């Protein structure tokens, strides 16, 4: 598995991350098999959130990996906080309590990365800054970032937050390419030219913020996967042809398409199937050509201007 520098080189981790949105659906034995398969494939970056499985996913992870000092120093653990039932909460009190809860469930003294999980309309940057400084000084969190935020929301936080924000977790897949479409259709009176996120892709590249792509196999908003889906015949035909030429599964091509972007985007895959995970990891062994990348982009229904 290839490594990438995250943020301004604050961290170096596997270019593919394993996320645990559905880990709570597995038994401890199944979870252990999945996690150790990831480690064997070279994945050392693991993505959590305090709300995944109501906290159970973090508990299962620590049990399945048999958390201890030796294992802890070999992996990167990221978790997210800020989503509560019926609201979002970036208050200092909630952030501190959420981190303490994650640390307890994960059986670790620190998080490598803490992300704020979806924007809070009532955010007070001063409170976030106080929470981050407290967590950094106590050694409970080493690095910080955000999830699903646009440039001005990040700039608002940076008004008070002293720590570098090294990650922004955003939705991106071959069929969800809004952040790419707008940059290709500048100054055109068509739907793909609409900039819905403040040029977040270019902003993150300029600010050395690593984009993590969530739901890299999904279309729409959790409507289903596009691979082997009759709704996307041309896309699947193109992906399958390229997969055959390169001798890898179609899942590897879907991830390789994201990895090909020069922004060094880190996909977060959420499979709970060890065999599928092995197939996905083959993406790290290939590089799509410029022509192949654009061929896949066009096969998804995009028209180049």
**How far lies 15's CA from each of 41, 256, 281, 285, in Å?**
12, 10, 10, 11
Nearest to 154 by CA among 197, 110, 113, 215: 197
pLDDT at position 190: 95
Q: What are the tens digits of pLDDT across the range 208-221?
A: 999 999 999 999 98
Please, what is the average pLDDT of the chain? 97
Give yes or no for residue 9 having a pLDDT over 90: no
Give yes or no for residue 10 having a pLDDT over 90: no
pLDDT at position 174: 98
Give yes or no for residue 262 having a pLDDT over 90: yes
Mean pLDDT of 106-125: 98
Residues 6 or more apart whose Cβ sits within 8 Å of residue 185: 192, 193, 305
CA distance 254 to 89: 34
* Confidence band of 291 (pLDDT split at 50, 70, 90): very high
User: Helices then strands (H, E): number in the chain?
Assistant: 12, 14
Give yes or no for residue 126 having a pLDDT over 90: yes
CA distance 117 to 106: 18
The answer to whether 103 and 110 are in contact (CB under 8 A) is yes
Q: What angle do CA 166, 172, 176 make, to 5 degrees?
A: 155
Q: What are the tens digits of pLDDT across the range 12-64?
A: 999 999 999 999 999 999 999 999 999 999 999 999 999 999 999 999 999 99
The answer to whether 174 and 235 are in contact (CB under 8 A) is yes
- pTM over the 0.85 mark: yes
pLDDT at position 222: 86
pLDDT at position 221: 87
pLDDT at position 264: 97
CA distance 242 to 234: 12
> Position of tokens 């401890």?
28
3-state SS, residue 102: helix
Q: Give all domains of the chain, ordered by start, each with its CATH number.
A: 9-230+258-277 (3.20.20.100)
CA distance 260 to 267: 11
How many residues would you count in the chain?
Answer: 305
Catalytic residue ranges:
52
pLDDT at position 8: 86
């Amino acid at each position: 598995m290839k490594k990438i520098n995250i943020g301004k080189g604050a961290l170096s981790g596997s270019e593919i991350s394993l996320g645990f949105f559905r880990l709570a659906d597995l038994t401890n034995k199944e979870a252990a098999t999945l996690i150790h398969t990831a480690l064997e494939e070279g994945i050392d970056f693991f993505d959590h959130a305090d709300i995944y499985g109501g906290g159970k996913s973090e508990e299962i992870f620590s049990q399945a990996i048999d958390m201890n000092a030796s294992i802890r120093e070999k992996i990167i653990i990221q978790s997210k906080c800020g989503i509560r039932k019926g609201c979002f909460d970036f208050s200092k009190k909630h952030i501190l309590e959420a981190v303490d809860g994650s640390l307890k469930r994960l059986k670790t003294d620190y998080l490598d990365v803490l992300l704020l999980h979806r924007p809070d309309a009532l955010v007070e940057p001063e409170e976030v800054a106080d929470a981050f400084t407290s967590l950094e000084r106590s050694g409970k969190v080493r690095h910080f970032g955000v999830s699903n935020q646009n440039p001005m929301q990040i700039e608002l936080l940076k008004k008070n937050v002293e720590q570098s924000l090294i990650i922004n977790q955003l939705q991106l897949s071959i069929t969800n390419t809004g952040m790419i479409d707008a940059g290709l259709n500048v100054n055109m009176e068509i739907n793909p030219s609409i900039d819905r996120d403040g040029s977040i892709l270019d902003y993150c590249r300029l600010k050395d913020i690593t984009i993590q792509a969530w739901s890299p196999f999904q279309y729409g908003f959790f409507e289903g996967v596009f691979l082997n889906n009759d709704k996307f015949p041309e896309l699947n035909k193109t992906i399958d042809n390229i997969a055959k030429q390169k001798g890898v599964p179609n899942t590897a091509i879907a991830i390789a398409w994201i990895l090909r972007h020069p922004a060094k985007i880190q996909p977060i895959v959420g499979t709970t199937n060890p065999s599928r995970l092995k197939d996905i990891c083959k993406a790290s062994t290939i590089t799509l050509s410029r022509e192949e990348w654009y061929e896949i982009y066009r096969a998804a229904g995009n028209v180049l201007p």
